[in-house]
């Protein structure tokens, strides 16, 4: 359980700082003289793969890996924060909710509300009329792996580095069912953390559908999304009856921030192309893609990127 440390050094000119900690979580808050939170830093996974969520009033929530430095005789152990997509927010919310029951209730509620708010901020739905459309999944692979995508390339295993990936797909008649299927894993594995928030958002926008009770691996992308180390961290969907999957995939593949994983992967009906793209390390183009899709949807033309 989080407990507040009462011996915290304050810095001149900085808002009042508080520190709450337990074995796995650290919460540092900055508050104005009126008690209003101006910023917080929530560190988690302290004993394994430490990460931090950073929030400052007027800015969006960001997620960082905590790099403790390089081991060895000449090691540098000064901690550094390295930008990373936000994975597994619902699990962190549950962990923080359980561990923060005894701290300042106003601080606790504020942090929980900011975490909850940012789950839905990773779901963007454009358009209002069609039950189908095209979509883009943002996927974070937590560890490098070598994966066989069914019979693709004769079953040759493909190396996948740790990092971020984009997948473009379409479902022109049942967008809800397709997206919820992607967010479900096979067997008794837990669903992707974004699934419940995705389901609620789809319902709120008039796209109804049932949560799948089971899933059988069928398409190339299923092999990646079924991995416990792969997590859908964001969804962008455009409701339309136009067949835009191919031009959108070509536009995304032409971005300097992306690399094709393997020709034909996830695109058996799109010769020479791939609909699964690796995002180069250090490049986060998600917000620009959302903006481009939004502008082009409003202008009703097909030059998306």
Q: How many residues does the chain have?
A: 305
DSSP H or E segment with residue 64:
strand 62-67
Query: What CA–CA distances, in Å, run from 65 to 83, 90, 102?
Result: 6, 18, 27
pLDDT of residue 81: 53
3-state helix, strand, coil in the chain (%, to 5): 25, 30, 45
294 close to 126: Cβ distance less than 8 angstroms: yes
With CA atoms as reference, report the closest residue to 217 among 165, 151, 157, 275: 151
d(CA 243, CA 3): 55
> Do 41 and 54 form a contact (C-beta atoms < 8 A)?
yes
Q: Cα–Cα distance between 128 and 241 in angstroms, integer?
A: 11
pLDDT at 265 (0 to 100): 86
Sequential pLDDT tens for the chain (305 residues): 999 998 888 988 899 999 999 998 999 999 999 989 999 999 888 877 778 888 999 887 877 766 555 444 444 444 455 555 555 676 688 789 889 999 999 999 999 988 877 777 688 898 878 899 999 999 988 889 999 999 888 889 999 998 889 999 999 889 999 999 999 999 889 898 889 889 989 998 888 888 888 888 989 999 999 998 898 888 999 998 888 888 888 889 989 889 999 988 887 777 778 899 999 865 567 777 887 777 666 655 444 44
Instruction: Judge residue 157's burial from the number of C-beta atoms within 10 Å of its C-beta, 0-12 exposed, 13-18 middle, 19 or more buried.
Output: exposed
**Residues 6+ away with beta carbon under 8 Å from 208:** 176, 202
pTM of the model: 0.70
Residue 209 has phi, psi (to 5 degrees) of: -175, 160
Looking up tokens 């789950």, which residue turns up? 119
In contact, 22 and 1? CB cutoff 8 Å? yes
């Amino acid at each position: 359980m989080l407990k507040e440390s009462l011996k915290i050094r304050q810095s001149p000119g900085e808002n009042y700082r508080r520190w709450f900690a337990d074995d796995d979580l650290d919460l540092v808050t900055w508050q104005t003289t009126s008690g209003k939170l101006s910023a917080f830093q929530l560190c988690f996974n302290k004993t394994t793969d430490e990460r931090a969520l950073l929030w400052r009033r007027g800015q969006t929530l960001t997620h960082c890996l905590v790099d403790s430095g390089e081991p060895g005789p000449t090691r540098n152990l000064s901690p550094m924060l390295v930008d990373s997509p936000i994975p597994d927010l619902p699990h962190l919310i549950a962990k923080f909710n359980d561990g923060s029951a005894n701290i300042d209730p106003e601080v606790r509620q504020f942090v929980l509300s900011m975490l909850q708010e940012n789950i839905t901020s990773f779901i963007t739905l454009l358009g209002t009329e069609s039950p189908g459309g095209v979509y883009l999944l943002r996927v974070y692979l937590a560890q490098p792996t070598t994966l066989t995508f069914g019979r693709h390339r004769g079953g040759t295993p493909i190396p996948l580095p740790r990092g971020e990936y984009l997948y473009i797909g379409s479902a022109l008649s049942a967008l809800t069912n397709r997206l919820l299927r992607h967010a479900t894993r096979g067997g008794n594995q837990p669903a992707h953390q974004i699934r419940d928030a995705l389901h609620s958002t789809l319902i709120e926008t008039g796209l109804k559908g049932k949560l799948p009770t089971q899933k059988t691996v069928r398409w190339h992308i299923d092999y990646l999304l079924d991995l416990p180390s792969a997590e859908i961290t964001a969804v962008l969907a455009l409701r339309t009856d136009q067949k835009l999957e191919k031009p959108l995939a070509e536009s995304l593949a032409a971005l300097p921030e992306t690399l094709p994983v393997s020709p034909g992967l996830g695109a058996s009906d799109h010769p020479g192309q791939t609909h699964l793209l690796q995002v180069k390390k250090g490049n986060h183009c998600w917000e620009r893609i959302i903006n481009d899709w939004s502008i082009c949807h409003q202008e009703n033309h097909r030059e998306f990127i």
